[in-house]
Amino acid sequence: MAIQGSIVASILLSYLVAACYGATFSSLQNTLVVTASPQAGQVLKGGEDNITVTWSLNNTFPAGTDSDYKTVKIKLCYAPISQQDRAWRKTEEELKRDKTCQHKIVAKPYSPSTNTFTWTVQRDVPTATYFIRAYVHNSADKEVAFGQTTDSHKATNLFEVQAISGRHVSLDIASVCFSAFSVVALFGFFFLEKRKAKASQKS
């Protein structure tokens, strides 16, 4: 009786823990097939280049696998090489605390057939190596499945983003300074010319 009681208690407790802490990555089923347009090793420019993401249900799974699938959230995720020594990008088993996939690309209602979405790499995406992951949420908005463009070791099909916003900002500053200087210079020369003209009239 006591053993049965403690088993029941521990099962209840684990449900409670699961309910409080939400989904863990290893509890998700890898049922989506996800591909993206960048070639392995390609370097994309922030603010300019586009990524086309394609996803669908892997139809080797039995019918009904996706009966509670409601939404798909596509995210840009840091590859291990860009997570090293950066606690703020660390992978955590508990999805609420996981920092691997910080850049949201799009959220769409789930559909098992082929879906595509084209996204322009945003300027606030830092220079790093990335892959793409899709999370499937159920009707309770809890993660239940996923798919990604890389393998389970996050070693294949990685691409890079080169943030160029910094360069643009300094170019912008330089061009503003240059225009301000040319306006000042223009007026300067204008007055100099006028003074010269007056001086020559007097003499």
Ligand X SMILES: *[C@@H]1O[C@H](CO)[C@@H](O)[C@H](O)[C@H]1NC(C)=O
User: Which positions lie near ligand X, rule CB under 6 A?
Assistant: 33, 48-50, 58, 60, 120
CB atoms within 10 A of CB 14: 10
**Shortest approach of ligand X to residue 135 CB, angstroms?**
16
Which residue's CB is nearer to ligand X, number 49 or number 66? 49
Comparison of 89 and 110: residue with beta carbon closer to ligand X: 110
> Which residue lies nearer to ligand X by CB, 111 or 118?
118
Indicate the SS3 state at residue 141: coil
Closest separation between CB of residue 32 and ligand X, Å? 9
CB of 121: closest distance to ligand X in angstroms? 9
Burial class (CB within 10 angstroms; exposed 0-12, middle 13-18, buried 19+) of 22 = middle
d(CA 152, CA 160): 19
Q: Is the CB of residue 109 less than 8 Å from the CB of residue 117? A: no
Handedness of CA 24, 29, 31, 34 (dihedral sign): positive
Surface-to-core class of residue 85, CB atoms within 10 Å of its CB (0-12 exposed, 13-18 middle, 19+ buried):
exposed
In order of 10, 67, 136, the CA distances from 64 in angstroms are 30, 5, 15
Query: Residue 20 CB, nearest distance to ligand X (Å)?
Result: 30
CB of 13 to ligand X, least distance (A): 31
Query: 38 vs 78, which CB is nearer to ligand X?
Result: 38
User: Least CB distance from residue 27 to ligand X, whole Å?
Assistant: 16
Our CB check for ligand X shows the closer of 32 and 101 to be 32
59 torsion bin: left (phi>0), alpha (psi -120 to 50), beta (else): alpha
41/188 with CB nearer ligand X: 41
Residue nearest to ligand X (CB): 58
